[in-house]
């Protein structure tokens, strides 16, 4: 038995080494068909070629003969990003920025668990950011800015412990800033500017130890800015968010009682009047009510009203007995 295994082992290894490149070649050709449907820019990607032989433009392989890098930035690509990208499981770098790609980011991109650099910025990509990005534990740079991405920022990004840069500026993103981003201990730059984000800036985010730049300009953020962000000096950029307030920031107004969430001024992400259940409240903002300022004191009138109603009922009963 041992001799048979020894004899067939080289053939098993050979089968694996041949099958994997074939699978990657198929994925690359499918990717080409979607990225460059008119075959104007990726003519070197042919079925008879070798992706690791130096003939496939923009493709580089690792020492194991596996496709590890695709660099096609600024090539004039005007197609879509195919789900076939998920078949290139050994990719560490994907650089497709400065093109004219459109459509959604395929969910299959989450299969790229070895990817460290994701550059899809400056395209025409739309739809939502796939939550599956949170499964790509080796990601260090996520560049999705200058697209037309919609929806909210996935809270799952907060699980990417190696993430240094998140660039989501100039999209159509809505919702709140996830407090989970405050778990990213090596995050250095977070750019969320020029979107449609609302709610407050999470306190946890201000405590990220390596954070150097936080850009939230041109959103509709509100509430008290965490004082800890003052350490960023010019790295904290917050212009054109009229609802923001805070002490220690030269161009921010001081906060008042009305800046705290209360029953007379519901936040846009609370339940009740909006019809949204409480479980859908984003995990960002601080929703603790401060009742020491006055607006919440109206609830203290409820016991007095109950006593008054009781007295009226008694009077009515006594009057009825007298009539009878």
> Measured at the alpha carbon of residue 218, what is the angle toward residues 212 and 224, in degrees to the nearest 5?
65
Domain ranges of the chain: 10-290
All residue ranges of the chain with pLDDT < 70 are 1-19, 260-324
- Rg of the chain taking only CA atoms, in angstroms: 29
Average of per-residue pLDDT values in the chain: 82
pLDDT at res. 197: 98
Of all helices (H) and strands (E), which one includes residue 302? helix 302-323
pLDDT at res. 190: 98
pLDDT at res. 261: 57
What CATH homologous superfamily does 10-290 map to? Ribonuclease Inhibitor (3.80.10.10)
pLDDT at res. 258: 78
> What would the pLDDT profile of 240-261 be if each residue is shown by its tens digit?
999 999 988 888 999 988 776 5
Q: In whole angstroms, give the CA distance from residue 324 to residue 318.
A: 10
Tell me the pairing of strands 59-61 and 67-71.
Answer: antiparallel
Of all helices (H) and strands (E), which one includes residue 215? strand 213-215
Q: In whole angstroms, give the CA distance from residue 310 to residue 105.
A: 64
Of the chain, the percentage scoring pLDDT greater than 90 comes to 70
């Amino acid at each position: 038995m041992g001799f048979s295994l020894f004899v067939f082992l080289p053939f098993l290894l050979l089968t694996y080494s041949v099958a994997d490149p074939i699978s990657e070649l198929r994925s690359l050709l499918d990717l080409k068909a979607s990225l460059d449907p008119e075959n104007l820019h990726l003519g070197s990607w042919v079925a008879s070629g070798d992706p690791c032989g130096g003939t496939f433009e923009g493709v580089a392989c690792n020492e194991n003969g596996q496709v590890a890098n695709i660099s096609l930035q600024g090539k004039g690509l005007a197609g879509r990003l195919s789900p076939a990208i998920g078949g290139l499981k050994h990719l560490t770098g994907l650089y497709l920025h400065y093109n004219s790609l459109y459509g959604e980011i395929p969910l299959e991109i989450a299969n790229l668990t070895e990817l460290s650099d994701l550059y899809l910025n400056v395209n025409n990509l739309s739809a939502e950011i796939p939550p599956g990005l949170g499964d790509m534990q080796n990601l260090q740079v996520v560049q999705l800015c200058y697209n037309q991405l919609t929806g909210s920022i996935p809270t799952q990004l907060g699980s990417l412990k190696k993430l240094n840069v998140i660039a989501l500026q100039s999209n159509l993103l809505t919702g709140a800033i996830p407090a989970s981003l405050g778990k990213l201990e090596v995050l250095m730059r977070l750019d969320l500017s020029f979107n449609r984000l609302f709610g407050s800036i999470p306190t946890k985010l201000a405590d990220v130890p390596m954070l150097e730049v936080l850009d939230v300009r041109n959103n509709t953020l509100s509430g008290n800015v965490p004082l800890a962000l003052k350490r960023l000096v010019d790295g904290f950029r917050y212009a054109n968010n009229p609802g923001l307030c805070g002490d220690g920031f030269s161009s921010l107004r001081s906060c008042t009682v009305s800046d705290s969430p209360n029953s007379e001024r519901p936040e846009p992400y609370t339940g009740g009047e909006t019809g949204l259940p409480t479980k859908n409240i984003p995990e960002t903002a601080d929703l603790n009510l401060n009742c020491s300022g006055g607006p919440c004191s109206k609830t203290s009138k409820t016991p007095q009203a109950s006593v008054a109603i009781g007295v009226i009922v008694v009077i009515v009963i006594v009057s009825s007995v007298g009539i009878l």
